[in-house]
Each structure stands twice: as structure tokens, then as C-alpha cells.
Homo-oligomer: A and B are copies of this chain.
């Protein structure tokens, strides 16, 4: 998060009005049918195609300002749009339009002794506040998922991407108007000041959910200040546990994929745990596979005995999310040792066991406390698309409401609906 602020700070009254408009728009959206919302998403994609010149020009302005402000190459890359990236955003929006609509499904639970019939109806959450950093694609991705699921969305992107986000939000707004829906269904906050964000986080009567996406600093800032429920995901300290009954080839393959296929993402591995019973036989092979791919290895005393090139890992090192070609290794005493290490250092994100023993796998999957627990599969599969959710708006490592990747279902809730014939609770 930067403190750049390209436009003047807005007053709290204007932010209150924005949130009230969003709530009114949410009522309108909740009354639309699936076909209308799908047509809306296709209209958004069409607008992105039609307005690509204006969007790319706004992005060029953001990039020029970013270069002048000294943004790193990595940040500029996250910020940059080009015709291909913009077309991919439009294509993703059309894909979301084609996903099944979760809204309105009612599960009837049967008749109660009182005679009433009880059901649970899936409904939109209402108003969602999305807080994110430099990637402008989130503006459209989040709007598509929220609108598809019948929610109004308030978009608060990073200041670096403000011009890009405004152009993208304008395309969304025109699409809303073309379907006769209020622009307030998807509003970009007209300021990126922290004070404005802090004020929005107090509006728990108007906003139902906050989803911050970005670095741990941004997410902690939001979580500590919000009176609105927050879906959190601080970091991914993911472990691969190689059990005594592991297939060594599978262990090596999952280790290399988990650590090296994309080290900067949250479902990459940070720690390798090896069962003491097979450490003599396996550890050197696993470390060699990592070292051959340029991974820096740190480990406990037992690890360093078997792989002398390893640096020293302290207890605190095992809490680090490297986001880089680096890994911590520990030798553990079987499944109990692995589960104990994960309970101390895990981040509730993704844990992996490599074993041929179904009983050990079952215990690991039950007891490892993480949003996704893999048996003989890569940690990198903890992703909405890979797990079959179609698309994801974020990932939750808190256990409330959603745990793991969040698709359209996680943007809804279920209310009770009751059908009666005049039943009272007490005789009247």
C-alpha cells in the first residue's frame, strides 16, 4: 500500500452516501434474475473490448506516473495492461457469466412438528467492499463475481492504478446503465486515502463483507480497523511432509513443483518435513533436487548433518513465508512430529502429506488444520480454478464463512424460509 493519493480526500459524508447508494443498488440487484445478471457480465466484457483504447491510455498514464515515482519493475508489471491482458480480462468475465448461478436455490428441510415447512434459500450477501493493491484486473474480476452473485460492490484499488481502475469501472458502469441497472451496483471509491478506507471500514450497517487482497501489511491494517466482517488471508506457510511410507519419486516431484513452479505465490511450499525413519535414505536426494534448481536450504541440526550445505534454521525461521527460492527443512518424528510442527508454524493455508499408507493420510487430512490438505498432490492445487470453483475472489485462512478459495458460493449466504398455514408458536 502506498500513500500516493492522486485525488483530493473525500468527506466522510460523501463516503456514507456512496455506501447508502450501494445498499439501495444491492436491493435492486437482489431482485434481478440470472439471465439479467449474465447479460450484464457479457455487456461488461463487450464494453472492455469497445473501450480498450481509453483503458490502455489511462493505464499508460498510470505507468508513466509509476515510473516517475520509482515503482519497481515487479510493481510496474503488476500494474501494466496491454491488448492481450485486457482481452484476457474480458474473456474471464464471459467465463464467469457462464458459471451456474448460486442465488435463489432453496433446500427444503421438511415439515416440523408444529406443521411449518422449513427451507434455506441461498441469497446474495448484500454489499461487498473489495480492497486491493496494484493489479487493475481485480477491478473487473471482483465486479464480475460480485454482480454475478447478486451483490453490490465497492471497489477500493491502489493509488498506483487509480486511472486504470477509473477507466475500467467506467466500462462496468456503462454496462450497468445499458441493462437499466444503477451504476451504484459497482462503484470505485473516488479517493485512495487511508482515512477514507478507515471510514468505510466503520460502516457495518451498510456494508456486509470486506475482502482485502494484497500483502500482509494491508490485510492486517484492514482486519485491525474493520467493524465489518473481514475475510482474511495473511500468509501461506505451507508444509510438505514426507512420510516413511512415501513414494520417493512422488515426494521429489511434489517438492519441486511446490517450491519452484511459482515461488512468489501463497500456495508455494515454505517447509519440507521429513520423517526421521527415512531421512537417511531420502533427505539428501530431496535437497539435491532443490539445490539443482537454485533453492537455498536452511535446516535444523539433523538436517545439516545429512545435508551439510544447509544453513541454520532457527525456530522463528519456520514461520517465514519466503515467497522466493528458499526453503526450511526439519526432521520430524513421524506423523505426530509433523502434525506438531504444523500446529506450531502452520498458517491454515495448505498442507501436504506424501505417503502410501491410507490410514496415515486420513489422520493427516483430518488433523492438519489448513484450508486445503493434500494427499500425494501438490500444494499448488489450492486454487479456486484447480479445485473446481470456476473462479475465485480470494482465499480465506480464517475458518468463518469460507475456508480456502472463495468462489461464487462464498459470496452468498443462506436464510431460512418458512411456509405455514397460520401456525402460531403458542395457542392463540
A400 on the interface (CB 8 Å rule)? Answer: yes
Q: What is the bound-complex CA distance between A223 and B202, given in angstroms?
A: 11
Q: Mark A390-424, 1 if CB is under 8 A from B, else 0.
A: 00000000111101110000000111111111111
Output the nearest chain B residue to A339 by Cβ-Cβ distance: B27
Please tell me if the beta carbons of B381 and A425 are within 8 angstroms of each other in the complex.
Answer: yes
Q: Considering the complex of A and B, which 3 residue pairs feature the smallest CB-CB distances, nearest first?
A: A377-B420, A257-B424, A380-B425
A12 on the interface (CB 8 Å rule)? Answer: no
A148–chain B nearest beta-carbon distance, Å: 17
Please tell me if the beta carbons of B208 and A398 are within 8 angstroms of each other in the complex.
Answer: yes
Number of this chain's copies in the complex: 2
Known: A376-B419, A376-B420, A404-B415. 13 other contacts (CB 8 A): A112-B386, A114-B381, A121-B365, A208-B398, A208-B399, A261-B428, A371-B416, A372-B415, A373-B416, A375-B417, A377-B420, A386-B425, A404-B416
A242 on the interface (CB 8 Å rule)? Answer: no
A387 on the interface (CB 8 Å rule)? Answer: yes
A60 on the interface (CB 8 Å rule)? Answer: no
Q: Mark A15-54, 1 if CB is under 8 A from B, else 0.
A: 0000000000001001100000000000000000000000
Please tell me if the beta carbons of B400 and A208 are within 8 angstroms of each other in the complex.
Answer: yes
List chain B residues, Cβ under 8 A from A67: none
Please tell me if the beta carbons of B420 and A374 are within 8 angstroms of each other in the complex.
Answer: yes
Known A-B contacts A399-B125, A404-B416, A416-B371; the reply to A377 vs B27 at CB < 8 A is no
A22–chain B nearest beta-carbon distance, Å: 13
List chain B residues, Cβ under 8 A from A227: 223-224
A280 on the interface (CB 8 Å rule)? Answer: no
Q: Mark A360-384, 1 if CB is under 8 A from B, else 0.
A: 0101011101111111111011100
Please tell me if the beta carbons of B372 and A425 are within 8 angstroms of each other in the complex.
Answer: no
List chain B residues, Cβ under 8 A from A343: 27
> CB within 8 Å of B: which of A98-134?
104, 109-110, 112, 114, 116, 118, 121, 123, 125-126
Known A-B contacts A104-B366, A416-B372, A417-B365; the reply to A380 vs B426 at CB < 8 A is yes
A243–chain B nearest beta-carbon distance, Å: 14
A337 on the interface (CB 8 Å rule)? Answer: no
Chain A binding surface, main DSSP class: mixed
Identify A414's interface contact among B110, B363, B403, B419, CB under 8 A.
B403
List chain B residues, Cβ under 8 A from A376: 419-423
Please tell me if the beta carbons of A369 and B424 are within 8 angstroms of each other in the complex.
Answer: no
Identify A401's interface contact among B250, B373, B400, B425, CB under 8 A.
B400
A197 on the interface (CB 8 Å rule)? Answer: no
A87 on the interface (CB 8 Å rule)? Answer: no
Q: What is the bound-complex CA distance between A262 and B365, given in angstroms?
A: 47
A204 on the interface (CB 8 Å rule)? Answer: yes
Q: What is the bound-complex CA distance between A118 and B372, given in angstroms?
A: 10
Q: Mark A219-253, 1 if CB is under 8 A from B, else 0.
A: 00001100101100000000000000001011001
Interface core residue of A109, A343, A373, A416 (most chain B CB under 10 Å): A416
Known A-B contacts A375-B417, A386-B114, A399-B413; the reply to A381 vs B31 at CB < 8 A is no
List chain B residues, Cβ under 8 A from A405: 416
A254 on the interface (CB 8 Å rule)? Answer: yes
Identify A425's interface contact among B257, B363, B366, CB under 8 A.
B257
A388 on the interface (CB 8 Å rule)? Answer: yes
Known A-B contacts A208-B400, A400-B413; the reply to A367 vs B27 at CB < 8 A is yes
Output the nearest chain B residue to A225 by Cβ-Cβ distance: B227
